[in-house]
Amino acid sequence: MSSPSPSSHPDPSSSASGSTPPPTAAATTNQDGKISTLPDETLDFAAKVFDLARKGDKDTLETYLNAGLPPNLTNSSGNTLLMLAAYSGHAPLVRLLHSKGADVDRLNDRGQSPLAGAIFKGEDEVVKTLVELGADPTKGEPNARDAVKVFGAKQYEELLGVSPSSANEEKKSE
């Protein structure tokens, strides 16, 4: 017989009093530095939602967004659903999230933009989609234009207004 994992809830039937124990909760720190407590069930749901974004499950996420899921929901690293979809190569999901109000320029906790992440991963369709939706190639650190230079992603130079001559001029002015 295996023992329950530390994150699982105790079996109510094993309680000496026969009563159901209260749900457990995890403490997290929000952007304002305040500690908030969320039930494990909520944290589990959020983890599943972020996995849906990574997998590109557009239909399920659309259902949740229509039911009130915030389009700019972020995980503990500051990655939005759109960031995860972009990094994972799901252009149709990026478009859907944007149509529901997701910010194409929202930076994660490391200062990275969805556009720079898509360039790093070589996700051509996502890069084109983000530019079409108005993503700013100068947002983030490194920004998308820097990512083109650093990763030698020449296929994006024209799309982002980076040419070999402008890249050399930018380096000279630094």
Residues 56-173: name the CATH superfamily. Answer: Ankyrin repeat-containing domain (1.25.40.20)
Residue 169: is its pLDDT beyond 90? no
Q: Specify the pTM.
A: 0.74
C-alpha closest to that of 98 among 156, 58, 144, 51: 58
* Domain positions in the chain: 56-173
Residue 16: is its pLDDT beyond 60? no
Give the separation between CA 145 and CA 59, rounded to whole angstroms.
32
What's the rounded mean pLDDT across residues 156-174? 64
Please check whether residue 93 is in contact with residue 130, taking contact to mean a CB–CB distance below 8 angstroms: no
